[in-house]
Structure 1
Amino acid sequence: MKGYWIIFGGEIVDQAAQAEYGRLWEPIGEKYDAKFKVLNGGGLVEALNTKRVLIVEFASLEQAKACYNDPAYVQAKAFATQASRRELIILEGEL
């Protein structure tokens, strides 16, 4: 089964940090063959602070966890959490 990150993101408050996260994410995503999908926020029917929902698909749950724990991602994550408030879950399944 595939692994997923599901990210519930708030409004982006630091565009420079978001841009740096995107720059750092690119080679990490390639390394783990991650498929990044941004969902239309219009589908949110019950949301307090969530403005964006993002899904990152991996070949397996193990790959999703390995990417999250990769030192390069740990560095990139600092920019993501500076750019906006977010919550991230990692799960296994077929979406």
Structure 2
Amino acid sequence: MKGYWIVLGSSVTDKDAQQAYGALWAPIAEKYQAKLKTVDAASVLKEQRETQRVLVVEFPSHEAAIACYEDPAYQEAKEFALRASNRELLILAGELM
């Protein structure tokens, strides 16, 4: 069963932090075989307050999605993501896309 991160984020307010997150994320994504799925936020957001961006990250398994989140390298990268924008991250199991 695949695993997914669903990330609901506000607009990016710190572009430098977002860029640093992206650089740190690339090798982590490769390690866990994570694939970013494009989502048109305007078509899926029906009732939102601050959310401006919706990201779906697909993993080969739910276990991989959890392991990636718990990886110390991701925990370091996450600090930049949290500086870049307000966001919420959900980890789900199943076949979404």
Band the TM-score falls in, shorter-chain normalisation:
over 0.9
Matched, 1:10 2:5: no
Which residue in 1 is equivalent to 2:48? 47
Q: Flag as ranges the 4+ runs of structure 1 deviating above 2 A.
A: none
Structure 2 unaligned runs (5+)? none
Q: How does 1:6-45 map to 2 (within 5 A)?
A: 6-43=6-43, 44-45=45-46
RMSD after superposition: 0.7
What amino acid is aligned across from residue 42 of structure 1 in structure 2?
A
Structure 1 unaligned runs (5+)? none
Identical positions, percent: 58
Q: How many residues align?
A: 95
> Scaled by the length of structure 1, what TM-score is found?
0.97
**Comparing both structures, which one devotes a greater share of its residues to strand?**
1
Distance between the aligned counterparts of 1:11 and 1:38, measured in 2? 16
Distance between the aligned counterparts of 1:42 and 1:53, measured in 2? 9
> Scaled by the length of structure 2, what TM-score is found?
0.95
